[in-house]
Amino acid sequence: MALVSDGYHSSVSLHDQGNNISTLSYEFNPATVTTLALALTAQLAMNTVLLATTDSKIKSYSVSERYGEDAFTLPTAAQNENKASISFTKSGFGQGNLKIPAIKNALMVAATGAGNNQVDLADSAITNYTDKFKTGDDYVINDGEFLVELVAGKRIHSKNNRG
């Protein structure tokens, strides 16, 4: 099993006079669009012809290469509704929150009891993940802010009507 390229994809956000947003998604032809540079060129051409068909304006677009598992199987014991909710301070001001679906039970303070609902913020798996959002690493929180310090973490459950 490996994550392999699933081709190039794009999305375009169109805004109307009331600032209502329509997002169009596209999948590039893998026979003709084989590199990111070709995908960017193709998207610029699409933007031109799209604008000839709509009165809305393009506010933004993105082009990306998507990867997918070539031999995917479902996990045996994961529930995405069982989440870690991790609060943190962020650069600029205020606090933020990250959620991790199907949190591993080993990342809780204790295997049973009250500690089983508290995320172990000192666990290396948690710090390795959250450090990716700190100044100097590759990811930002919305609006270009960075995670400064972890404050608290707990297990939460989200509603799911799918069973």
pLDDT in tens, 78-97: 999 999 999 999 998 899 99
Q: Is this structure's pTM higher than 0.75?
A: yes
Give 87's strand partners. 97, 152
- Give per-residue pLDDT as tens, 31-88: 999 999 999 999 999 999 999 999 999 999 999 999 999 999 999 989 999 999 999 9
The full length of the chain comes to 163
Of 28-42, 96-110, 118-132, 134-148, the one with minimum mean pLDDT is: 134-148
Interatomic CA distance for residues 91 and 126, integer angstroms: 19
In the chain, the percentage of residues whose pLDDT exceeds 90 is: 89
Interatomic CA distance for residues 15 and 82, integer angstroms: 36
Closest among 117, 138, 115, 143 to 128, alpha carbons compared: 138
